[in-house]
Chain A
Amino acid sequence: QLQLQESGPGLVKPSETLSLTCTVSGGSISSSSYYWGWIRQPPGKGLEWIGSIYYSGSTYYNPSLKSRVTISVDTSKNQFSLKLSSVTAADTAVYYCARIITMVRGQGWFDPWGQGTLVTVSS
């Protein structure tokens, strides 16, 4: 079955750029029926959608993060990636990647999810 796995540094310094990659296995990232998304969860808090990407490169971003976020896709590696610039302690969170089952424009539900990776912003 489809599996997603996040990877990247667990510690990032303030003002630097957080970079994570999600590797998709058991299915193709180039499927026309899906978008691929990033979601984060600060410790002890709720879920926040960061952004989504289609295999063609079309993206949607959370307006509150848009100025700092870039999501890209590499279909040859079956991966998509997140970059979040100018991080602060408020960006400390578990970051999840997930497939979005969507009818149109990335509007859909998340399933399945990766296991998540904790990224701490600290000097």
Chain B
Amino acid sequence: DIQMTQSPSSLSASVGDRVTITCRASQSISSYLNWYQQKPGKAPKLLIYAASSLQSGVPSRFSGSGSGTDFTLTISSLQPEDFATYYCQQSYSTSLTFGQGTRLEIK
């Protein structure tokens, strides 16, 4: 299986901050990387697919970049509704795997 490692595991930030979350794959996955946001008690929501494509309806303050083994999710200016847990997921392999999650908390 391809292992996905996110960093940091948790992060404290303030409204208006620029935040970056990193996801690293155990082998090259080209651009087959997707990002999700999950709020407590809710299902995950797709934010970014294919490393950098913004899902319809997702605010433009979210962006994704990277290829190969290293990827980033950036929130350009944190809003109150962005405090949540974020997961990356690789779709390079037929055995799909997620990162362990990054919890974004209010400072």
Question: 11 A-B residue contacts at CB 8 Å?
Answer: A49-B95, A49-B97, A52-B96, A60-B95, A62-B95, A102-B91, A109-B49, A110-B44, A111-B46, A115-B42, A115-B43
User: How far apart are A53's CB and chain B's nearest CB, in angstroms?
Assistant: 12
Majority-rule SS of A interface residues: strand
With A46-B98, A46-B101, A49-B96 as contacts: A108 and B91 at CB distance below 8 Å: yes
Count contacts between A and B, CB distance < 8 Å: 62
Beyond known contacts A47-B36, A49-B98, A96-B43: 18 more, CB 8 A cutoff: A46-B87, A47-B98, A48-B98, A49-B95, A49-B97, A60-B95, A96-B44, A102-B91, A105-B94, A107-B91, A107-B96, A108-B49, A109-B34, A109-B49, A109-B91, A110-B34, A112-B46, A115-B42
